[in-house]
């Protein structure tokens, strides 16, 4: 039976929506997928219209290549499939295994008037979350405050070194606060104490199933608290600039 015009139109609409919801791309043995589950929200629409799936996939592959080089002391981890889910949830993003979950609400509200700053932020988030896919860590022990801080600090360090930071270096806090605080601390260690510090630290973390603060001593010959205090003294009291 010949399909009626309205039925044909409905089928076409379904196919178009499916294409917008999901797209696959394979490179370097890894299949990347984008599943935009929030196309009916401002954030989901903004991502689709102002960046698009292909640009996001391109950012993922660039991030993978950068991270593999940053963790060159380890054999590149084989990851068959990486999926980004765009969802109508709070927060920014999180990663479980090789699944990256990105908040459409954050996409909608971040830098609404500056496309360049917005795109740079989304790309930076991808570098951070992709680091979680490839870094060495005992995910069963992320309740450990030191390990959790290191894991998030390494992810922001990768984003920092890739040139997608959006934060300012500041004094205070604890070395294991994670994210930007720990990332800038690791950046300082790498520049002033021993090159490829994060590469070495990630390698150490892959050689054992448990975290120890002695990794700092083993790599730099100095304990972490001494390093932290020296780093803090190196910062002017009102330092408000990002790293170069």
Report percent pLDDT > 70 for the chain: 86
What average pLDDT does the chain have? Answer: 89
Which segments of 135-223 does DSSP mark as H helices, in order? 145-162, 179-192, 197-206, 214-220
At 138, give phi and psi (nearest 5°): -90, 95
Q: Are residues 88 and 111 in the same domain?
A: yes
Q: Are residues 70 and 182 in the same domain?
A: no
Q: What pLDDT does residue 77 have?
A: 83
Q: Which residues of 165-189 are buried (b: 16+ CB within 10 A; e: fewer)?
A: bebebeeeeebbbbbbbbbbbbbbb
Residue 44 counted as domain residue: yes
Domain of residue 184 covers 140-234
Which pLDDT score is estimated for 4? 54
Same domain, 44 and 101: yes
Of 106, 134, 162, which marks where a domain is finished?
Answer: 134
Structural tokens at position 69: 């080089």
**Quick check: is 172 in a domain?**
yes
Based on the domain organization, do 118 and 145 belong to the same domain?
no
**pLDDT of 237:** 76
Phi/psi of residue 32, each to 5°? -100, 140
Q: What is the pLDDT of residue 36?
A: 96
User: Considering the entire predicted model, what is its pTM?
Assistant: 0.87
Indicate the residue among 134, 157, 186 that finishes a domain: 134
Distance of alpha carbon 120 from alpha carbon 122, whole angstroms = 6
């Amino acid at each position: 039976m010949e399909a009626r015009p309205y039925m044909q139109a409905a089928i076409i609409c379904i196919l178009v929506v499916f294409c917008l919801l999901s797209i696959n791309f394979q490179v370097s043995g890894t299949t990347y997928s984008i599943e935009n589950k929030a196309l009916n929200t401002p954030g989901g629409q903004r991502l689709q219209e102002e960046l698009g799936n292909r640009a996001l996939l391109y950012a993922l592959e660039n991030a993978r290549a950068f991270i593999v080089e940053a963790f060159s002391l380890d054999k590149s981890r084989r990851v068959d499939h990486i999926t980004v889910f765009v969802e109508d949830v709070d927060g920014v993003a999180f990663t479980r295994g090789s699944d990256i979950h990105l908040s459409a609400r954050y996409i909608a509200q971040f830098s609404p008037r500056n496309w360049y700053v917005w795109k740079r932020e989304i790309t930076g988030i991808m570098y951070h979350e992709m680091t979680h896919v490839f870094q060495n860590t005992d995910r069963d022990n992320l309740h450990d405050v030191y390990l959790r801080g290191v894991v998030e600090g390494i992810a922001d360090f990768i984003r920092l070194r890739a040139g997608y930071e959006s934060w300012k270096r500041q004094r205070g806090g604890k070395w294991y606060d994670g994210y930007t605080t720990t990332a800038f601390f690791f950046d300082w260690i790498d520049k002033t104490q021993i090159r490829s510090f994060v590469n070495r630290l990630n390698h150490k973390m892959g050689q054992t199933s448990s975290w120890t603060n002695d990794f700092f001593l083993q790599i730099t010959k100095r304990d972490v608290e001494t390093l932290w205090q020296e780093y803090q003294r190196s910062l002017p009291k009102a330092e408000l600039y990002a790293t170069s």
